[in-house]
Structure 1
Amino acid sequence: MSGILDAIVIGAGSAGLGASYLLTQQAYNHLVLERDRIGETWRTQRWDSFRLNSPRIRSVLPGDSFDGPDPWGASTQHEFVAYLESYAKRHRLPVRTQTPVRELTRDNGLYLVATLHGTLRARNVVIATGNLNCPARPSWSAELPPAIRQLDSSTYRNAAELDDGAILVVGSGQSGGQIAEDLVLAGRSVFLATSRAGRLVRRYRGGDIFNWMTLSGFLDVTRETLVLPSGKLPPRALLGATHTISLQSLSAQGVVLLGRFIGVENGTLQFGDEVVEHIRFADDSSAEVKRFLDRYIARAGLEAPPPEEDPAETIAARLPDPPIRSIDWATIGIRSVIWCTGFKGNFRWVRLNGALDAVGQPVHRDGIGIIPGLYFTGLDFASTRKSGTIPGVAEEAARLANHLAKRARDID
């Protein structure tokens, strides 16, 4: 492979294709390299009943507008993958599939992208692989008995694939809450180790919550504002794709709510006593979002129906009495644990001094890397609440394309 490209985009998911569209519009000579198929993560890291949390009308990429049926409905991952393939074809994006990147280095001011088919050279590189592709588990997960099958939210598919017996879901953010409901609706015995995670209603004051959050600027709140005192970012709030899911609604369906899963002691599973606190925190976070939206509606002078009660919020929680702090897994019959405890990115192939921090994650400011010509897109909470979501693609792609253009002018 000879010649020097203006840019190479690594990853053909929504972020990578969105970046490629903007680069194409600016006539940049570039390629998009994809390890397998377009939208591979969407194909392989979602459960069967998964649907996008952003409605169809808010799930389009740069240059497109939605004109299909059910604009406020929720697409399946299969529908979204088909959309990504169509998007790349319609806009004639230069995607090379089945081209995993082995190594990214830099020499004499050029980036060297080593693939199975040779090495490409480029003046700029946009890494669009995201940072939600490597499941994170607590270190003590290795202490669980071998008889318990452990999965991550990215490998869970459906209840029928799990062994007979009870299931423990760990984490009550988006994935944990949705998977717990998927399991209990399938008739399984489900325990949910809750966490300090926010919650959102699906609809509010006559509109979709995601649309309200977009219009009001709620999704534009900056990363710096969101960082917790611990230095970490909060998990994504629990949001059902088609309806509201709350800890209390899950308990009403039969999910047994527990506190934090804190470890294994003498062969038994140990839990904290924070269930009531976690329910209260989720309720408070939902109320806070509603107040934000109410202020926006009043400020903008919009006509919207008055606030309404959501049954998933008003239903009473059914909690174990006394609270469960310890479980003998064999007696209860827990045979599977599904970890919904977050992800990190796999950037081991990036061999650039200073590009990654001490734990191997990107060093950047609003997606712009510390090394000239290095960019990251699709990172969760990279700049704002919107970062890392499909509706955030257009904004991020435009910012990176503009910065890349400025860099080209400065070089010239």
Structure 2
Amino acid sequence: MAGILDVVVVGAGSAGLGVSYFLKQQGRDHQVLERGRIGETWRTQRWDSFRLNSPNIRSLLPGDAPDISEPWGASTQHQFVAYLESYVERHRLPVITDVPAEELSREDGLFLVATPRGILRARNVVIASGSLNCPKRPPESAELPITLRQLDSSAYRSAAELERGAVLVVGSGQSGGQIAEDLALAGRSVFLATSRVGRLVRHYRGGDIFNWMTLSGYLDMPRREIILPSGKLPPRGLLGATHTISLQSLSAQGVVLLGRFLGMRNGSLEFGDNLDEHIRFADESSANLRRFIDDYIQRVGLNAPPAENDPAELIAPRLPHPPIRSIELATSGIRSVIWCTGFRGDFRWIKIPDTIDDDGQPIHEDGTGFAPGLYFSGLDFASTRKSGILAGVAEEAARLVDHLARRTAG
């Protein structure tokens, strides 16, 4: 691995491939390192019935024409992985698979990327491994008995692979809601420990919600306006890939709704008294988004169909009465717990001072690191609401590569 590259890109998912496309357009000598196969996370961290939340037309990588079949369809992870592979081949991107980046350091103004095959030297590095590839569990997970199978949403595949019995799903964001529905449709008894998460309808006023969010500028909202008073970023709202999923619709399918999971006490699973609040918050967030779209339609004078109610939002919730605050594990029939409680990135391999904060996450400004020549692509909410999702790949990649070019020229 002799010679000095202009750029090393770490990660051959959508973010890394988008950056590679623009680097190639500029004629920059670069390599894309992938720890496994192209789109490894898409291959290994999705369940069998999974489909992309963004429609095909809004999931294209830069340089690809929008004249595709089923533009408003929802691809499976297998279809999307095939798309990523074809993208690499069609655009002749320099991807090296099965070569993980083991350590990143800096010496004499150059970045050193250590791999099992040797060291790559580069003037710039773009880390495109994302911030959503390592599952997080709350500390309360350690309190559960070893007889109870625990797995993360990234390890769930289907109801058939779980032990017989009921399933507790913890977290009601995108993964939690979709997995709870998948289990219910398979005939399993499901308990859902809810959380304070928003909701999105799948279709509204004659169009896909993703299209409306793109056109209206909703996805362009900057990070500073999204971040919570606690300093944390909110979870993505519950969105079904092909239809609206709400806590109400899940309850109508037999899912038992609970408040926030609090842990174990005296052999029982304990839950908070906040289910009504969680339902109300999801309802309000959906209404706020619809009002945002209504305002946009009126402002630009679009001839869109009138607003309509979604059946999944109209259905009355079927709630336990009285509310369930405690479930005795021994008699509940619950045999599995699926943690849908978020992800984080693994950046421990970066050994450059002042690039990672105390929480182990990148220090950056809109994806630009504070070490000159270091960039991060694909971070969730890095600069706007669409950062970290497919709809934001082209814009972010172009911006980072443009910054890199101006820095190099300077």
User: Do Structure 1 and Structure 2 share a fold, with TM-score over 0.5?
Assistant: yes
Report Cα offsets for 1:157-188 as digits up to 9, x if no partner.
Answer: 00000000000000000000000000000000
Residue 312 of structure 2 aligns with an amino acid whose one-letter code is A
Query: Is the Cα–Cα contact under 8 Å of residues 145 and 267 in structure 1 kept in the other structure?
Result: no
Residue 233 of structure 1 aligns with an amino acid whose one-letter code is L
Q: What displacement does 1:140 show?
A: 2.0
Give the number of equivalent residue pairs: 410
Partner of 1:21: 21
User: How far apart, in 2, do the equivalents of 1:70 and 1:24 lie?
Assistant: 29
Partner of 2:154: 154
Question: Residue 101 of structure 1 aligns to a residue in which SS?
Answer: coil
Q: What displacement does 1:68 show?
A: 2.5
Question: Residue 179 of structure 2 aligns to a residue in which SS?
Answer: helix
Residue 58 of structure 1 aligns with an amino acid whose one-letter code is R
Query: Is the Cα–Cα contact under 8 Å of residues 362 and 369 in structure 1 kept in the other structure?
Result: yes
Question: Residue 151 of structure 1 aligns to a residue in which SS?
Answer: strand
Residue 195 of structure 2 aligns with an amino acid whose one-letter code is S
User: How far apart, in 2, do the equivalents of 1:322 and 1:14 lie?
Assistant: 47
Partner of 2:180: 180
User: How far apart, in 2, do the equivalents of 1:4 and 1:63 lie?
Assistant: 27
Partner of 1:30: 30
User: How far apart, in 2, do the equivalents of 1:65 and 1:183 lie?
Assistant: 37
User: How far apart, in 2, do the equivalents of 1:13 and 1:336 lie?
Assistant: 31
Partner of 1:5: 5
Unaligned runs of 5+ residues in structure 2 are none
Partner of 2:409: 409
User: How far apart, in 2, do the equivalents of 1:405 and 1:233 lie?
Assistant: 30
Q: What displacement does 1:384 show?
A: 0.7
Query: Is the Cα–Cα contact under 8 Å of residues 135 and 341 in structure 1 kept in the other structure?
Result: yes
Query: Is the Cα–Cα contact under 8 Å of residues 35 and 97 in structure 2 kept in the other structure?
Result: yes
Within 5 Å, which residues of 2 pair with 1:135-284? 135-284=135-284
Question: Residue 356 of structure 1 aligns to a residue in which SS?
Answer: coil
Q: What displacement does 1:69 show?
A: 1.9
Query: Is the Cα–Cα contact under 8 Å of residues 199 and 283 in structure 2 kept in the other structure?
Result: yes
User: How far apart, in 1, do the equivalents of 2:347 and 2:228 lie?
Assistant: 24
Report Cα offsets for 1:295-314 as digits up to 9, x if no partner.
Answer: 00000110000000110000
Within 5 Å, which residues of 2 pair with 1:38-49? 38-49=38-49
Report Cα offsets for 1:1-25 as digits up to 9, x if no partner.
Answer: 1100000000000000000000000
Residue 51 of structure 1 aligns with an amino acid whose one-letter code is R
Partner of 1:360: 360
Q: What displacement does 1:288 show?
A: 0.1
User: How far apart, in 1, do the equivalents of 2:376 and 2:330 lie?
Assistant: 46
User: How far apart, in 2, do the equivalents of 1:135 and 1:66 lie?
Assistant: 33
Within 5 Å, which residues of 2 pair with 1:35-74? 35-74=35-74
User: How far apart, in 2, do the equivalents of 1:225 and 1:71 lie?
Assistant: 31
Q: What displacement does 1:266 show?
A: 1.3
User: How far apart, in 1, do the equivalents of 2:36 and 2:241 lie?
Assistant: 27
Q: What displacement does 1:374 show?
A: 0.2
Question: Residue 231 of structure 1 aligns to a residue in which SS?
Answer: coil
Q: What displacement does 1:66 show?
A: 2.7
Unaligned runs of 5+ residues in structure 1 are none
User: How far apart, in 2, do the equivalents of 1:273 and 1:245 lie?
Assistant: 22
Partner of 1:310: 310
User: How far apart, in 1, do the equivalents of 2:398 and 2:252 lie?
Assistant: 45
Question: Residue 102 of structure 2 aligns to a residue in which SS?
Answer: strand
Q: What displacement does 1:391 show?
A: 1.1
Instruction: Report the TM-score when normalising by structure 2.
Output: 0.99
Question: Residue 264 of structure 2 aligns to a residue in which SS?
Answer: strand
Within 5 Å, which residues of 2 pair with 1:289-304? 289-304=289-304
Q: What displacement does 1:139 show?
A: 1.1
Partner of 1:396: 396
Q: What displacement does 1:359 show?
A: 1.1
Partner of 2:374: 374
Question: Residue 154 of structure 2 aligns to a residue in which SS?
Answer: coil
Residue 259 of structure 1 aligns with an amino acid whose one-letter code is G
Question: Residue 270 of structure 1 aligns to a residue in which SS?
Answer: strand
Residue 384 of structure 1 aligns with an amino acid whose one-letter code is T
Query: Is the Cα–Cα contact under 8 Å of residues 195 and 259 in structure 2 kept in the other structure?
Result: yes
User: How far apart, in 2, do the equivalents of 1:101 and 1:404 lie?
Assistant: 21
Residue 210 of structure 1 aligns with an amino acid whose one-letter code is F
Q: What displacement does 1:211 show?
A: 0.2
Partner of 1:349: 349
Question: Residue 66 of structure 2 aligns to a residue in which SS?
Answer: coil
User: How far apart, in 2, do the equivalents of 1:125 and 1:140 lie?
Assistant: 38
User: How far apart, in 1, do the equivalents of 2:337 and 2:384 lie?
Assistant: 32
Partner of 2:98: 98
Q: What displacement does 1:269 show?
A: 0.6
User: How far apart, in 1, do the equivalents of 2:36 and 2:145 lie?
Assistant: 35
Residue 242 of structure 1 aligns with an amino acid whose one-letter code is T
Residue 339 of structure 2 aligns with an amino acid whose one-letter code is W
Query: Is the Cα–Cα contact under 8 Å of residues 10 and 34 in structure 2 kept in the other structure?
Result: yes
Which runs of at least 4 in structure 1 moved beyond 4 Å after TM superposition? none
User: How far apart, in 1, do the equivalents of 2:348 and 2:335 lie?
Assistant: 33
Report Cα offsets for 1:361-387 as digits up to 9, x if no partner.
Answer: 000000000100000000001011100
User: How far apart, in 2, do the equivalents of 1:216 and 1:183 lie?
Assistant: 35
Q: What displacement does 1:67 show?
A: 2.2
Q: State, as a whole percentage, how many aligned pairs show the same letter.
A: 73
Q: What displacement does 1:330 show?
A: 1.7
Q: What displacement does 1:57 show?
A: 0.5
Partner of 1:111: 111
RMSD: 0.5
